[in-house]
Amino acid sequence: MALIASFYQDLVYTDGNKPAIKVMVNTSSIKEIRILFSKGQEMKEHKAPYAITVQVLKGEIEFMAEGGTYVLAEGMLIALEANVPHSLLGISDSIVRLSLNMNDQAARVQSV
């Protein structure tokens, strides 16, 4: 069965401190999550129990990990191994794609 999702449709940014998080695809083999950052919103430092990949589809974010701060612009991505503390900050309104290991839980991301 084919699953189709658009990271660019039905965009609803939040006004609060936390970005809007939506599970786009969640199967037994992949988990793809959309994170919408309004300018200034952040995800405070946390760790993932498995490796992750974060890609900026639109906008610009600061990604802090391993003592460094990386400015990720549209089209850029970063990959982290498991258990690396990291945080994210929206420099501008941004659409971010988070790819999780199939054993990771989407609910964990929503609780950050």
Q: Where are the domains of the chain?
A: 20-110
Residue 93, class by beta-carbon neighbours within 10 Å (0-12 exposed, 13-18 middle, 19+ buried)? middle
Closest CA to 82 of 110, 52, 112: 52
Amino acid at residue number 72: L
In contact, 48 and 87? CB cutoff 8 Å: no
pLDDT tens track of the chain, all 112 residues? 788 999 999 999 998 889 999 999 998 888 999 999 999 999 999 999 999 999 999 999 999 999 999 999 999 999 999 999 999 999 999 999 999 988 888 788 888 8
Q: In what order do the strands lie in the sheet with 77-80?
A: 20-26, 31-37, 94-100, 52-58, 77-80
Residues with Cβ within 8 Å of 108's Cβ and at least 6 positions away in sequence, in order, are: 48, 49
pLDDT computed for residue 59 by the predictor: 98
pLDDT computed for residue 29 by the predictor: 85
Residues with Cβ within 8 Å of 17's Cβ and at least 6 positions away in sequence, in order, are: 41, 42
Q: Which architecture, in CATH terms, is 20-110?
A: Sandwich (2.60)
